[in-house]
């Protein structure tokens, strides 16, 4: 997660000044920390996928890009993305739902119901009241197949 200046944002913690840490960063980070090992989860898939795809002789050159997507707000007017208001709204809705979906795996990992409820509630305040303006960074890659060789 990134702040409104597109710098890495700190995780939210109890007792800190509101808006100084992201509860979405907290719950997603806790979920990743407790449920995945580095062997299971590449640290930066956006960097490795283009390289991996370029090893296939049937494919052309891979092109990749990183896009900062606002969560629950329209984002800065910096032309990074089209339809930024709608994207920000949809990402906010997604953010609220995905954190609820983490509950079973966090419980299994030993996090208390009280902690999970707190993280989800604080995340809802962050997103619905825009207490903190955050972005997530999407890495994407496009590639085309090379033309098939003629059999004539």
Q: What is the mean pLDDT of each run of 10 residues along the chain (152 residues)?
A: 90 88 92 67 56 80 84 79 86 93 91 95 91 86 79 58
How many other CB atoms are there within 10 angstroms of residue 34's CB atom?
14
DSSP secondary structure code for residue 148 in this structure: P
Domain residue limits, the chain? 23-142
In whole angstroms, give the CA distance from residue 45 to residue 83: 25
pLDDT for res 92? 92
pLDDT for res 140? 80
Distances (CA, A) of 12 to 9, 88, 128, 129: 9, 20, 16, 15
State the pTM of this model: 0.73
3-state secondary structure of 59: strand
DSSP secondary structure code for residue 11 in this structure: B
Residue 46's Cβ-count burial label (10 Å; 0-12, 13-18, 19+) is: middle
Residues 133/73, Cβ–Cβ less than 8 Å? yes
Rg (CA), the chain: 19
pLDDT for res 38? 42
Residues 101/107, Cβ–Cβ less than 8 Å? no
pLDDT for res 27? 93
pLDDT for res 41? 47
pLDDT for res 102? 92
């Amino acid at each position: 997660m990134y702040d409104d200046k597109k710098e890495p944002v700190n995780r939210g913690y109890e007792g800190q000044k509101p808006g100084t840490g992201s509860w979405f960063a907290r719950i997603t980070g806790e979920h990743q920390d407790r449920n995945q090992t580095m062997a299971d989860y590449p640290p930066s898939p956006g960097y490795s996928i283009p390289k991996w795809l370029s090893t296939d002789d049937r494919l052309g050159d891979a092109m990749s890009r990183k896009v900062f997507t606002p969560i629950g707000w329209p984002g800065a007017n910096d032309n990074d993305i089209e339809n930024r208001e709608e994207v920000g709204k949809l990402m906010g809705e997604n953010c609220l739902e995905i954190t609820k979906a983490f509950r079973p795996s966090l419980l299994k990992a030993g996090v208390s119901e009280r902690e999970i409820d707190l993280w989800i509630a604080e995340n809802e305040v962050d997103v619905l009241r825009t207490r903190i303006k955050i972005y997530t960074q999407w890495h994407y890659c496009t590639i085309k197949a090379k033309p098939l060789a003629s059999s004539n």
